[in-house]
Amino acid sequence: MNNVNLSNLSRRSFIAAAGLGAATAVFAPRLLFAQEIGIVPTMINEAARAKIEVFPLRRNISVLEGSGGNIAVLTGKGGKLLIDSGFTVSRARIATALDSLSSAPITQLINTHWHVDHTDGNAWVHSAGATITAHENTKKRLSTSTRVEGWSYTFPPAPAGAIPTTVFDDEHHAHHNDTRIALKYYGRAHTDSDISVLFEEADIIHVGDTWWNGFYPFIDYSTGGSIDGMIRASERNLTIVTDKTIIIPGHGPVGNKAGLTEYHDMLVTIRNNVAELKKQGKSLSETIAAKPSAAYDTKWGQFLMKPAIFTGLVYSGV
Ligand SMILES: [Zn+2]
């Protein structure tokens, strides 16, 4: 799944832009580039151009990449079940990709969390026939005006059809297309609304934005996220999966336990390095100058989500 192609590059550039938005708003507003149009319009523009790629995974489950977060699809007689809905600007290309899998309608949609790159398509997916399931905080966040400081953006309430109607607090179990599906809340992690979705027979799990495969992740402190919450979520993910489990991250290529372990260890080491510097009384700029993420920057920080940006996100939470 480590395909290098236009779509992947395009997706990477939008993720990178997300990092820029995070940094500028969290701790360095003066660094905003004049040409920067803002992260949310940037993400939408990228999704409007991106090709939607379909990767069959195992049994009747596939993943669609190219419009915001990774979209999982379970096909079958009971209609398609989607995990996350991407951006509305991708509707026509997502619909074409879904048609290539089967002619069944969409009947179910699950949101991994409330962020726009995972829920913007909710309204059209609902209008196509889907019932929407999510954590209760996803419903709460989508129902009201919500500010993400890291993106310098305030989202208006989502339209009525986009709001999840089946919500839960800790866990929820469903059965669809002869597949058992387990939904489980992480607690506060990347936001306060993150859940994992496990397809039990297929041994495939969508872990939402608790894992960005190949990039330093964005952490949304505005709506309950934190570096320690991200680490706890990664630890839980590692207790759930085996070497055979297929893991769908929120962003980046589909991966496995080895990749997830590497990501977890990276988070822990950088967190501890930053915490130690902060404990010594170092300011944010002194902490960034000490390069606490240096050992990981080549692999994880090579896009616009620069080491300094991620260091700032970690510093905010230790
Ligand atoms: Zn997110």
Distance 238 CA to ligand 1 centre (A): 20
Over residues 109-155, the pLDDT tens digits come to 999 999 999 999 999 999 999 999 999 999 999 999 999 988 889 99
The answer to whether the CB of 197 falls within 8 A of the CB of 204 is no
Distance 267 CA to ligand 1 centre (A): 17
Tracing tokens 């799944």 back to the chain, one arrives at 1
Over residues 258-279, the pLDDT tens digits come to 999 999 999 999 999 999 999 9
Distance 210 CA to ligand 1 centre (A): 8
**pTM for this one?**
0.89
Per-residue pLDDT at 36: 62
The yes-or-no verdict on residue 4 having pLDDT over 70 is no
Distance 278 CA to ligand 1 centre (A): 26
Contacts of 60 (CB under 8 A, 6+ apart): 74, 75, 76, 177, 179, 202
Question: Closest Cα to residue 6, out of 51, 62, 40, 44?
Answer: 51
Per-residue pLDDT at 13: 43
CA–CA gap between residue 13 and residue 16 (Å, rounded):
5
Residues at Cβ < 5 Å from ligand 1 ion: 115, 209
Q: Binning pLDDT at 50, 70 and 90, where does residue 23 land? A: very low
Distance 268 CA to ligand 1 centre (A): 20
The answer to whether the CB of 231 falls within 8 A of the CB of 274 is no
Average pLDDT, the chain: 89
How large is the average pLDDT for residues 32-42? 63
CA–CA gap between residue 55 and residue 291 (Å, rounded):
37
Distance 242 CA to ligand 1 centre (A): 25
Distance 72 CA to ligand 1 centre (A): 15
Distance 115 CA to ligand 1 centre (A): 5
Distance 148 CA to ligand 1 centre (A): 11
Q: Binning pLDDT at 50, 70 and 90, where does residue 51 land? A: very high
Distance 244 CA to ligand 1 centre (A): 26
Distance 117 CA to ligand 1 centre (A): 7
Question: Closest Cα to residue 313, out of 39, 33, 68, 20?
Answer: 20
Distance 68 CA to ligand 1 centre (A): 9
The yes-or-no verdict on residue 27 having pLDDT over 70 is no
Distance 208 CA to ligand 1 centre (A): 7
Over residues 154-204, the pLDDT tens digits come to 999 999 999 999 999 999 999 999 999 999 999 999 999 999 999 999 999
Burial class for 37, CB neighbours closer than 10 Å (0-12, 13-18, 19+) = exposed
Distance 209 CA to ligand 1 centre (A): 5
Tracing tokens 């993420």 back to the chain, one arrives at 293
Distance 193 CA to ligand 1 centre (A): 10
Distance 74 CA to ligand 1 centre (A): 22
3 state DSSP class of 162: helix
Question: Closest Cα to residue 61, out of 209, 236, 178?
Answer: 178
Distance 294 CA to ligand 1 centre (A): 25
Distance 251 CA to ligand 1 centre (A): 9
Per-residue pLDDT at 93: 97
The yes-or-no verdict on residue 60 having pLDDT over 80 is yes
Distance 132 CA to ligand 1 centre (A): 18
Distance 277 CA to ligand 1 centre (A): 28
Distance 298 CA to ligand 1 centre (A): 23
Distance 13 CA to ligand 1 centre (A): 16
Q: Which two three-digit tokens encode residue 69?
A: 């977060």
Q: Binning pLDDT at 50, 70 and 90, where does residue 304 land? A: low
